[in-house]
Structure 1
Amino acid sequence: MSTKKNGDQNKSLKRYNQYFIYGLFLILIFSFFFNPFTEKNEISWLKFEQEMLSQTEVEKIVVINRETAEIYIKKDLLSEDKYKDVTNEVGPHFIMEIGSVESFENKLEKVQDSFLPEDKVGVLYEDRFEWTSIISWLFPIFLILVFWLFIMRRMKSSGGIGGAMSNFGKTTAKPVDIDIESKVTFEDVAGLKEAKVEIMELVDFLKNPEEYTNLGAKIPKGILLTGPPGTGKTLLARAVAGEAQVPFFSMSGSEFVEMFVGVGASRVRDLFKQAKEKAPSIIFIDEIDAVGRSRDKAKSFQSNDERENTLNQLLSELDGFGTNTGVIVLAATNRVDILDKALLRAGRFDRHIYLELPTKIEREEIFNVHLKRIKKDDTIDVDLLASLTPGFSGADIANICNEAALLAARKKKEVVSQIDFTEARDRVVGGLERSSKIISPNEKMIVAHHEAGHAVASWYLENVDSLVKVSIIPRGQSLGAAWYLPEERNIITKAQFTDQICAMLGGRAAEEIIFNEISSGALDDLEKVTKQAYSMVAFYGLDINIGPISYYDSSGQYQSMMGKPYSEEMGKEIDKQVHKLIITQYKRAKEILSQHEVELKKLASLLLDKEVADINDLEKILGMRKAERLLKPDDN
């Protein structure tokens, strides 16, 4: 590694010295022939006539190439003060541009009409071959050519016009130098156990292909990594590059698509050609949906001919190389629903690996990976951090760890503690805390009772996540927030749906009970409630009147349709049941808060005083949660 780096440094130093020598050579040439500081002693006709010719001080005049007159002064006069600047005693002492020869002779003759014959100056004519005149024409052209070649070479090396003309159809993917560029291994990929087993099988095949081919097995040609953003698709591909120790060609799908016809298809051909020449090898295409979008007629208005030609070439290449050639294609996307069906079939991408959001155990592993590089104290509870981050992807967890370290550094702390991670989690979820935001006392009272309404309603509902903290400190776009400790759930029952809707409506209900007035502060709650109610009725089939019918579209085909997948009468019935569900849960929230109005006012007063109420404050005011009382065994 160091030898290669030293070689690159010596090469760049040699190139630098070469350019330096060329530049110095050009400067010397320019200085020799066109030095602006060289004394030419050029004079005008007026000065020549009045100070030299009329004083009979000129010895002779030599006209060179019918353009320039060289003037020689009499040698015995060079010692005078007026000629003290003349350094060349041999001559010529002065130079003058004459224009045309006829005009020069006429003027010279008029001046010398009154001269004595012995005082008249003769004119000699001489033709000379001068290198300086030729170089004065060629040198600017030479400089332009050198500058043009230099610019074209730089543009070619940087992929500009010069490089584009010669390598326009070449792939931009280059083999990754495993020893230098790829430091990621499977140990750096936490969680994803099943996905790593599938991927490690490919790595083992590339290292020991005979173990599989002897049994008649064929390794999959392609593997498609799908899943939500941030779940580790690209990271897993980088780990393959670090583990396989074979040429690894990495390229984004958008790099195939160009405005010029045929470029994308040409780059696909060149990519697979290079991979076959260096087999065994791996091709990784990130965000393959940029080039592999579906060619359905319903989406024809979104189509692009050049993109479709590139896709057709990609499909052809995936079919073109035979089995066990040692070339494996990895691709990643989080929009598998829009990919072309021909691209997804077996024989092209034989395996589809779905990377889900990590579970609580996997989140602990991810936290442990990112905590290795952080200086932390003994207060860090990884189990609690994993519990506080349900639904978080690996990228979100990495962001929380980085934010916690930044917060600790901002506080001039030497180590990162648990409170820093809690604040980082609140910041990622709710946004930046804005303590300086000015809120009027009346608005602050409304916000306090609104958040207290959420807390009290959720506290006395069985199927709502455990409340951890309530705050009325503005954060992000919200003026307050209630923080919960979510449970790991794979399915949600109807009772859990309705309790969640009831708890979200607790803020609006508290405003109406306490102030007999409602405000616009419940906009976010109402939006979530409406979406959740429609999901219950139209997607999950949880409404009795609508029945077990789902209009959910997992394929995304309905998105391209102008209308709804159900009739107008069914749409009216869905709206009716959604409205009934929301109004019923709103009345239920008002009943709960009316029964516990004293606790509601106490909690709101505490929030107005402290701005934040933690779990201990909540238990002092509200007692033990109903759900916890049901789970706790009777002491008697």
Structure 2
Amino acid sequence: MKPSNRKSPVKITPFWLYTAFLILLVLISLFNSLYRTSDISWLTFKTKMLDAHDVEKIVVKNKQTAEIYIKTDRLSDPKYQSLNTFKLSKSLEPHYSLQIGSVESFEHKMELAQENFAENELVDIQYKDSTGLVNLLPWVFPILMIILFWMILFRRTSRGGLGPSSIMNFGKSTAKLSNRDVKSQITFKDVAGLEEAKVEIMEIVDFLKHPETYTRLGAKIPKGVMLVGPPGTGKTLLAKAVAGEAQVPFFSLSGSEFVEMFVGVGASRVRDLFKQAKEKAPSIIFIDEIDAIGRARGKVNALHSNDERENTLNQLLTELDGFGTNTGVIVLSATNRADILDKALLRPGRFDRHIYLELPTKQERKAIFKVHLKPVIKGNDVDVPLLASLTPGFSGADIANMCNEAALIAARKARNEVGQKDFMEARDRIVGGLERKGKLISPKEKKIVAYHEAGHAVVSWYLENVESLVKVSIIPRGKSLGAAWYLPEEHQIITKPKFTDRICAALGGRAAEEVTFDEISSGAIDDLEKVTKQAYSMVAYYGLDKEIGPLSFYDSTGENERLLGKPYSEYLGKRIDEKVIELIASEYERAKTLLTIHKSELEKLAQLLLKQEVVDKEDLERILGKRLNNVISI
């Protein structure tokens, strides 16, 4: 089939009409200037024209200007050769113009100048008021230019998202509607690792397709579904998959789009959104980051006389109550801050069902890797189960980023495929930051860093409840000058021995500096920060201290964040501080004892780090022996 050669007709818009009109005004102005009469003085008019009886008539325009017409038979005189030779009709167009000041003064001058004229020689004077387009042009042109400027500004504003098509439509909903005829590219097959969440979401999709299956038994589908989870766990992706599977009108927008600088705009947009959804029922509304408008109403907002966010939330609550249970309109929302949402928003009858998305497990990470590795040209040495094991705590977004970083690294090195080494480098870059081999540090500082990292490695190697050590490096990454890499294990519950062993291992670097050099440095600031937080968590949150007892001052609701003071007394706060100091000091001494016992291994490992900068697990086992056989209790 040959392509059509027909050209699409040019679309005439108001913008082009205004442009053509302005061009026409400019041409009229130029035409007027081209045929403009010459201005003369009263003296020139009297001595050269009036006294010579050359004037045929005078037309006074708007009581300001006298247009002078010369007799046709006198135009051949040499003194009139300066007249515009481009005039279309010399007999119809005025030849000169004279500013008269006032009509009374002009008439008096004309009487005096024509005292000695015969009656048939008197000049005919006519009076006219002109309001033509040319005279109005100096006033109309600036106004039209201002109108054109504001039209262009409003068009740019509407494209930027501040209004749909006109500035007067700012109260309309800005939700993007997905057409049911255009199938979304994302389906449940593209959502990996969220099997339980998909089961609940698929039930809602099935209701929209076959509502009679549920309604004949008296079942009511939930009005709203709240997707809650950490950033990057797939909340928005799951909602897009619903749009791809349901094949119903899908309205999607962010919570921040309801909030504008104009009072009442958010509530108006909520009303308009639900009105559109009801008209196209069955349909789905997806509000991403609903915490932008769903924040709990409390005393803080009571100080504001008219809070726009609170008005928008009130309107949303009203709309959720305003339609029936089986009308076919379902509201999906996503947030990673469910603790700050208003309780009225979460009650049954509004958002009935809450789906919690957690960080993926090892098996789920394996499935996520398989999804993101499809477009990647990977080598035969890529071990997906190993990658899933080495990425605990990674969300789906982190895994997608890791696959992309690995491909970028391989492309940078001009490789034909992405290998396992590239994925390991990508993981190290995401966790620790970019390598900075060019960072200049003195030999003394490098030696301190080597013994510091060797101290972490030796202490953790001989502790039972610390994760397996994978490698040690003294290559600067990000803000750190070195790092010890572990293979974290996934735990839902952490016991007190695990806490104390982790604190001891974190203090191993500082302890190694003191054991080796008999002095300490500022390089352990990151370790000390983590240790202090863990110690306070043990004592004040998890109730793991025997003397303080099973008390927890952890605030899961976030209400204590508004308090200026601590939720416990000054006496108890002093005891907590003492127990934290005692805990950290005892674990520090424990680390020093371990390093004193294994000082020779510490020396060998530090020297090896200074030599090759990176030590792998094989070198660690050669120096420190098999880990399970060497674990001791101190």
Q: What residue number does 2:19 align with?
A: 23
- The answer to which of 277-286 and 552-561 deviates more is 552-561
Q: Distance in 2 between matches of 1:585 and 1:436?
A: 36
Q: Which residue of 1 aligns with 2:227?
A: 225
Kept after mapping to 2: 8 A contact 1:291/1:310: yes
Q: Aligned pair 1:331/2:333, yes or no?
A: yes
**Is the alpha carbon distance of 1:178 and 1:403 closer, same or farther for their aligned partners in structure 2, counting shifts above 3 Å?**
farther
Q: Give the superposition deviation at 1:46.
A: 8.0
The residue correspondences of 1:474-485 to structure 2 (distance < 5 A) are 474-485=476-487
The alignment yields a C-alpha RMSD, in angstroms, of 3.5
Query: What amino acid is the match of 1:588?
Result: R
The Cα of 1:209 is off from its aligned counterpart by 0.6
The aligned runs of 1:340-379 (5 Å cut-off) are: 340-379=342-381
Q: Which of the numbers 160, 168, 174 marks the counterpart of 1:172? A: 174
List aligned pairs for 1:455-474, cutoff 5 A.
Answer: 455-474=457-476
Change (3 A) 1:503 1:123: same
Counterpart position of 1:239? 241
Distance 2:196 2:238 in 1: 12
Q: Could you say if the C-alpha distance between residues 136 and 208 of structure 1 is closer, same or farther in structure 2, counting changes exceeding 3 Å?
A: same
SS in 2 for 1:484: strand
Q: Relative to structure 2, which stretch is displaced further, 167-176 or 98-107? A: 98-107
User: 2:135 matched to 1:136?
Assistant: yes
Taking the aligned partners of 1:90 and 1:253, their CA distance within structure 2 comes to: 72
Question: In the alignment, which residue of structure 2 is the partner of 1:3?
Answer: none
- Return the alpha-carbon distance in structure 2 between the equivalents of residues 109 and 222 of structure 1: 94
Residue 416 of structure 1: CA displacement?
2.7
Q: Kindly tell me: are residues 155 and 514 of structure 1, through their superposed partners in 2, closer, same or farther at Cα, counting changes over 3 Å?
A: same
Question: 1:245-301: per-residue Cα shift (whole Å, max 9, x none)?
Answer: 111122322333345444333332332222222111111122222222223458856
Counterpart CA distance in 2 for 1:301 and 1:369 is: 50
Give the aligned partner of residue 70 of structure 2.
72
SS in 1 for 2:401: helix
With over 3 angstroms needed to count, the CA separation of the structure-2 counterparts of 1:304 and 1:19, relative to structure 1, is closer
Q: Distance in 2 between matches of 1:301 and 1:435?
A: 54
CA-to-aligned-CA distance 1:176-223 (integer Å, 9 cap, x gap): 235558422111111110000000000000000111111221111111
**Deviation (angstroms), 1:330:** 1.2
Paired residue for 2:431?
429
CA contact (8 A) 1:155 1:162 kept: no
Aligned mates of 1:179, 1:455 — CA distance in 2? 59
Question: Cα distance, 1:58 vs. partner?
Answer: 4.1
CA pair 303-505 structure 1, distance change in 2 beyond 3 A = farther
Give me the TM-score of the superposition, normalised by structure 2. Answer: 0.87
Q: Map residues 589-628 of structure 1 onto 2, 5 A cutoff.
A: 589-626=591-628
1:566-596 per-residue CA deviation (whole Å, 9 max, x = no partner) reads: 3333333322222222111111111111122
SS in 2 for 1:241: helix
**Pair 204,181 (structure 1): closer, same or farther in 2 beyond 3 Å:** closer
Say whether the 8 Å CA contact 1:60–1:122 is kept in structure 2: no
Quote the offset at 1:19 in angstroms: 4.3
Which consecutive unaligned segments of at least 5 residues does structure 2 have?
A: 1-6
**Is the partner of 1:395 in helix, strand or coil?**
helix
Q: Distance in 2 between matches of 1:341 and 1:126?
A: 85
Given the alignment, which residue of 426, 442, 446 partners 1:440?
442
Identity of aligned residues (%): 61
Residue matched to 2:4: none
Q: Which residue of 1 aligns with 2:11?
A: 14
Q: Is the 8 A contact 1:469 1:613 kept in 2?
A: yes
Q: 8 Å contact 1:86–1:93 — kept in the other structure? A: no
Q: Is the 8 A contact 1:58 1:121 kept in 2?
A: no
For the residue of structure 2 that corresponds to 1:350, the secondary structure is strand
Distance 2:613 2:78 in 1: 100
Q: Residues 153, 475 of structure 1: CA spacing in aligned structure 2 closer, same or farther, 3 A cutoff?
A: closer
Give the number of aligned pairs.
Answer: 616
Q: Which amino acid aligns with 1:148?
A: I
Letter in 2 for 1:477: K
Structure 1 position 168, deviation (Å)? 4.4
Answer with 578-587 or 95-104: which moved more. Answer: 95-104
Corresponding letter in the other structure for 2:373: L
Query: Does 2:408 match 1:411?
Result: no
Q: Alignment partner of 2:124: what SS?
A: strand
Answer with 549-558 or 479-488: which moved more: 549-558
Please show how residues 93-242 of structure 1 align to structure 2 within 5 Å: 94-100=95-101, 123-128=123-128, 133-137=132-136, 140-141=139-140, 144=143, 148=147, 151=150, 155=154, 158=158, 166-180=168-182, 182-242=184-244
Amino acid at match of 2:127: D
Measured after TM superposition, the shift of residue 226 of structure 1 is 0.7
SS in 2 for 1:376: coil
> Which of 288, 292, 295 is the equivalent residue of 1:293?
295
1:289-333 deviation digits (Å, cap 9, x = unpaired): 222222345885699744333323322322222221111111111
Map of 1:479-628 to 2, 5 A cutoff? 479-626=481-628
Structure 2 match to 1:634? none
CA distance in 2, matches of 1:216, 1:535: 49
Kindly state the Cα deviation for residue 356 of structure 1 after the two structures are TM-superposed. 0.5
Match of 2:40 among 44, 50, 57: 44
Question: Using a 3 Å threshold, how does the CA distance of structure 1 residues 179 and 530 change in structure 2: closer, same or farther?
Answer: farther
Report the residue type matching 1:531 in the other structure: K
The offset of 1:44, in angstroms, is 2.9
2:315 counterpart SS class: helix
**Deviation per residue, 1:74-123 (Å, 9 max, x gap):** 7477375972664258445731223235656777789999xx979x9853
Relative to structure 1, the CA distance from residue 25 to residue 402 in structure 2 (aligned partners, 3 Å threshold; closer, same or farther) is: same
- Report if aligned partners of 2:164, 2:172 keep a CA contact under 8 Å in 1: no
Partner SS state of residue 397, structure 2: helix
Cα distance change on mapping 1:59 and 1:290 into 2, 3 Å: closer
| Residues 513/489 of structure 1: CA separation in 2 closer, same or farther (3 Å cut) | same
